Chain A
Amino acid sequence: MASSTGTFQRTISALVQDKPGVLARISGLFRRRGFNIASLAVGRSERPGMSRMTFVVEGPDTVVRHVAAQLDRLIDVVEVHDITDQNIVWRELALIKVAAPASSRGDVLELANVYRANVIDIGVESLTMEISGGRQKIDSLIELLKKFGLLEVIRTGRVATLRGTLVEGEDDGLFQADASNPTYILPIQTGETGSV
């Protein structure tokens, strides 16, 4: 999705070796190449010894289109997919602590209900809810809660995966890349003769 300033966002999913210093290699690469990380989520993957990272990177299209190729050059990066143009489903999570004295508690709870947010902690003057979903949904809940008094907002990065079926789900904020300028992933054949 192109913003008014001509910056583009791309969503990249990478499987990386779970070794010390891997994050430093990746963040160093991003800094050197001028890629700006809008969000990052890291955690153990289904494969032992491997972590999965989901990045959202931002920048001019000509720059961010090279993120996946540059990441793939890192020895510790095992697999990388630029899934921006793919049929993906993605989620972010937010914990929102909002003022909720008895006078407004009912309204706050009703909003939480409408947005399918779960209340996970209640105090005398405040409550904390969790919400997951696309960015717009989270943004708009936060916006609506502002008038009650936001005490703390904690948001994760985006996690994304390819859809298992071709059925479109609810609008979860799938980003559209510039279709006139498609990225292609180049096929590489690995051969024994690779040494030079």
Chain B
Amino acid sequence: MSKHLSGSQIVCEALLNEGVNVVFGIPGGAILPLYGVLSQYPDLRHILTRHEQGAAHAADGYARSTGKVGVAFATSGPGATNLVTGLATAMMDSVPMVAITGQVGRGAIGTDAFQEADITGATLPVTKHNYLVMRASDLGATIHEAFYIARTGRPGPVLIDIPKDVFTEMGEYDPDAPIDLPGYKVPGKADESQIDAAAELINQAERPVILAGHGVILSRSFDELKEFAEKAQIPVVTTLLGISSFPEDHVLSTGFPGMHGMAYASLAVDQADLIINFGSRFDDRIVGDPKRFSTGSKKIHVDIDPAEINKSIQVDAPIVGNIKDVFAQLIPKVKKTTHVEWLRHIEHLKAEHPSLRIPESDRLMGQHVVKALSDVTKGEAIITTGVGQHQMWAAQHYQFKNANSWLSSGGAGTMGYEVPSAIGAQVGNPDKLVWSICGDGGFQMTMMELATVVENSLPVKYAILNNNHLGMITQWQGFFYNGDYQAETYTGNPDFVKLAEAYGIKGIRVTKQDELESAIAAANAHDGPVIVDFVIEKVDDLYPMIPAGQSVQELIEDPN
């Protein structure tokens, strides 16, 4: 039944009907009419961030960790443009989000009015779809459409831009109006002939490897992946974003390959006779040189997005469909096998190329910190990261036991993701332990959100892997620019313990290996947020490494 409401009320009711109970945002002139009705909707919790980028990353962290659509609000002009990095991050990693932005009044659009920005134009390449809504009566249907688009198919962010006077206009809202999207196709089950072709390759393979990507996580196919891998006894390699799609303490778990992945994982992919890719887009950090990528293998590629098939790697058996449905179709057609010899060979690769050797040093290294975090939390925390060396150490040395417990900006590589994404993850999982593994660089890009943490009593634990450097830059300049180090050293970092205290957050400093466990345990035990400043050595040897655009032949395992 249709209701007569103001545009702002329609937005709130439609959000509630979509099951939204928390939004992250910052008000401003153009969106104030929406904030003006929030008090009528107490079930819609608004979390005020300190920067719109923080709101976007928090919505992203909430979405990744819960599977629900994350929602961010921002005002027109600079408020909206501040969301762009967060939208691009979500777009690259297929994260379901809806951003609602205020726009100048309809009559002022196109006049360079105060705080006007063409945000639908600006966000075209970084959203799955976007809307400028010109009538209050269109708001309800648009919001339901936006949520449907954001969470179905290959998920992604959708932006809805609403002029100020559309919020105040009265209009009709029919929550049951059907969604009409003639141009939008949501793949479900795959074509049976594609399944048969793939099953035949799988049943014939002697050295198969599963490459599990983010699609396994987005489709929540954890149990199915496990069942499939166990039935056919196939080793599972994950991509960086596929981490935590498969328990890392499982015998078939074979690490992640690629630029900074485990050597044994890259070698397994290279030596395989069949790669079964579930929901990875054969990203260049895995493939390196496409002409030399696993040349001896046939490839099966399962993806919900047909545009990913044959985009970077030519495949032998494409399957377009929802991974969860595809597993259900494929598992009964796959023979129970053992692949004893191949699995023995994989064990041998793991033993010969341990890759996760932690440098023997009296000093405190990033690897020591992550290993201790993994041990003390038993691999059961939700981990978010920034981008850089600390991110790769986190991926390498934290042993993830729980499904979907790794949140990291893979496609965009957005520094600063670490601080607000942990806020979103904690809001979505109030009873879980959330550790954010931060670079001192990335932390300083979004650390204003500590105020948001405090204001909302979120017990997030921040581990700053403080090397006083943009460590990854140091590494690349050492490696690719003959050690000509430029703009990678920080000499003005704040005292992070004092900074914590300035926010009323518990601060701990760790400088020695033997302080690690007690400090982490103390942080876990503290009933509130904690910042641990791990003062680590600056090193420019994050290994293994396959230089960009190269292949496993150029893999540098450990030069020391």
Partners in one complex: yes
Which residues of A are at the interface with B, using a C-beta cutoff of 8 A? 16-17, 21, 24-25, 28, 32, 65-66, 69-70, 72-79, 186-196
Complex Cα distance A190/B181, Å?
13
Can you list 21 residue pairs at the A/B interface with Cβ under 8 Å?
A: A16-B183, A72-B185, A72-B306, A72-B307, A75-B149, A75-B181, A186-B306, A186-B318, A186-B320, A187-B320, A188-B321, A189-B189, A189-B190, A190-B186, A191-B186, A191-B322, A191-B325, A194-B153, A194-B188, A195-B152, A196-B67
- Extra contacts, 12 of them, besides A190-B188, A194-B153 (Cβ < 8 A), are A21-B120, A21-B132, A73-B305, A73-B307, A74-B183, A78-B182, A78-B183, A187-B320, A188-B187, A196-B151, A196-B152, A196-B322
Pairwise interchain contact B188-A193, C-beta atoms closer than 8 A: yes
Pairwise interchain contact B318-A191, C-beta atoms closer than 8 A: no
Residues of B within 8 A of A75 (CB): 128-129, 149, 181, 183-184
Number of A-B contacts (CB under 8 A): 92
* Among candidates B120, B183, B305, residue contacting A77 with C-beta atoms closer than 8 Å: B183
A189 in contact with B125 given A75-B149, A196-B151, A196-B322 (CB within 8 Å): no
Closest partner residue, chain A, to B220 (CB atom): A196
Min CB–CB distance A69 → chain B (angstroms): 4
Interface centre among A76, A191, A196 (most CB of B within 10 A): A196
Interface centre among A32, A192, A194, A195 (most CB of B within 10 A): A194
Tell me whether B45 is interfacial, beta carbon within 8 Å. no
Pairwise interchain contact B307-A70, C-beta atoms closer than 8 A: yes
Residues of A within 8 A of B219 (CB): 196
A69 in contact with B152 given A189-B191, A190-B185, A191-B322 (CB within 8 Å): no
If over half of B's interface residues share one DSSP class (helix, strand or loop), that class is named, otherwise mixed; here it is loop
Closest partner residue, chain B, to A14 (CB atom): B183
Tell me whether B124 is interfacial, beta carbon within 8 Å. yes
Tell me whether B309 is interfacial, beta carbon within 8 Å. yes
A190 in contact with B187 given A17-B182, A66-B311, A75-B181 (CB within 8 Å): yes
Interface centre among A70, A79, A186, A190 (most CB of B within 10 A): A186
Min CB–CB distance A11 → chain B (angstroms): 19
Closest partner residue, chain A, to B305 (CB atom): A73
Tell me whether B107 is interfacial, beta carbon within 8 Å. no
Tell me whether B10 is interfacial, beta carbon within 8 Å. no
* Among candidates A77, A79, A186, residue contacting B309 with C-beta atoms closer than 8 Å: A186
Residues of B within 8 A of A21 (CB): 120, 132
For B175-206 the 0/1 string (1 means CB < 8 A from A) is 00000011111111111001000000000000
Tell me whether B324 is interfacial, beta carbon within 8 Å. yes
Residues of A within 8 A of B182 (CB): 17, 78
Min CB–CB distance A24 → chain B (angstroms): 7
Complex Cα distance A69/B154, Å?
14
* Among candidates A65, A188, A196, residue contacting B324 with C-beta atoms closer than 8 Å: A196
**Size of interface on B: residues with Cβ below 8 Å to A:** 42
Closest partner residue, chain A, to B186 (CB atom): A194
* Among candidates B67, B128, B218, B324, residue contacting A193 with C-beta atoms closer than 8 Å: B324
Residues of A within 8 A of B124 (CB): 24-25, 28
Complex Cα distance A65/B182, Å?
24
Tell me whether B42 is interfacial, beta carbon within 8 Å. no
A187 in contact with B191 given A28-B125, A75-B181 (CB within 8 Å): yes
Complex Cα distance A193/B189, Å?
8
Min CB–CB distance B304 → chain A (angstroms): 8
Residues of A within 8 A of B559 (CB): none
Tell me whether B492 is interfacial, beta carbon within 8 Å. no
Residues of B within 8 A of A76 (CB): 183
Closest partner residue, chain B, to A49 (CB atom): B182
Tell me whether B155 is interfacial, beta carbon within 8 Å. yes
Complex Cα distance A78/B182, Å?
6
Residues of A within 8 A of B155 (CB): 196
Tell me whether B121 is interfacial, beta carbon within 8 Å. yes
Min CB–CB distance A149 → chain B (angstroms): 43
Residues of A within 8 A of B120 (CB): 21
Pairwise interchain contact A32-B125, C-beta atoms closer than 8 A: yes
* Among candidates B187, B305, B309, residue contacting A191 with C-beta atoms closer than 8 Å: B187
For B192-229 the 0/1 string (1 means CB < 8 A from A) is 00100000000000000000000000111000000000
Residues of A within 8 A of B186 (CB): 190-191, 194-195
Complex Cα distance A28/B311, Å?
19
Min CB–CB distance A18 → chain B (angstroms): 12
Pairwise interchain contact B184-A196, C-beta atoms closer than 8 A: no
Residues of A within 8 A of B189 (CB): 189, 191, 193
Pairwise interchain contact B187-A194, C-beta atoms closer than 8 A: yes
Closest partner residue, chain B, to A185 (CB atom): B306
Interface centre among A65, A74, A188 (most CB of B within 10 A): A188
Pairwise interchain contact A188-B306, C-beta atoms closer than 8 A: yes
Complex Cα distance A24/B120, Å?
11
Residues of B within 8 A of A69 (CB): 306-307, 309
Min CB–CB distance B90 → chain A (angstroms): 15
